[in-house]
Structure 1
């Protein structure tokens, strides 16, 4: 049996842009992706605190250090600049791996700066 477990999370990110004329995805500062243990092009779940929308897409790297979070393509209809979102990535694990897993979580302030780190900070 396999378990699908949270492996990385970016909490309270603020959307900085929404661009409809794009193929689709969520553009994220790659430095923040790495801090949250989320790989470029990894499947993610995005939850919008402001409007309750949830969507599955993939993370694409934006400019390093930009603190950019941009909903692209049809996903741009699911949010607005300034909306607060949580971004989650999941991994398939054996039951043994699942019991030992401590997902890496970063919490951001209103400028998309990291204010707290939780979970496995060494992976």
Structure 2
């Protein structure tokens, strides 16, 4: 049996471009892709914090160091430049992998600069 688990997350990225007439997908700064372990053409989920939209697309490599987050093609209707988004990828893990699985979490700040990284989401208290 396999369980779908969070593999990687770019937390609070800012959309820098929304390009309707582009060949689809989401272009992400190559350095951010590598740090999060998200591969080119990998399916990603995008959650727009500003408007609540949630949509699926795939990642393409953007210029390294550019801090680019470009929502392209039809998905450009789902987010606007300046919106804060959470970009996640998920993977299937076998039962024996679950005990040691740790997602790659990349937290971003202004200008999509890296604030910090982690492998665990803090416990939420009531």
Q: TM-score range by the shorter chain?
A: over 0.9
Q: Does 1:86 align with 2:62?
A: no
Q: Which runs of 5+ in 1 are unaligned?
A: none
Q: Match for residue 27 of structure 1?
A: 27
Q: What CA distance in whole angstroms lies between the structure 1 residues aligned with 2:43 and 2:34?
A: 14
Q: Does 1:58 align with 2:58?
A: yes
SS in 2 for 1:51: coil
SS in 1 for 2:112: coil
Q: Match for residue 7 of structure 1?
A: 7
Alignment root-mean-square deviation, CA: 1.0
Q: Which runs of 5+ in 2 are unaligned?
A: 121-126
- More divergent stretch after superposition (93-102 vs 26-35): 93-102
Aligned residues between the structures: 120
SS in 1 for 2:99: helix
- TM-score, length-normalised on structure 2? 0.92
- TM-score, length-normalised on structure 1? 0.95
SS in 2 for 1:111: helix
Structure 1 runs (4+) greater than 3 angstroms displaced: none
Q: What CA distance in whole angstroms lies between the structure 2 residues aligned with 1:55 and 1:98?
A: 26
Q: What CA distance in whole angstroms lies between the structure 2 residues aligned with 1:51 and 1:43?
A: 21
SS in 2 for 1:100: coil
Q: What CA distance in whole angstroms lies between the structure 1 residues aligned with 2:8 and 2:2?
A: 18
Q: Match for residue 48 of structure 1?
A: 48
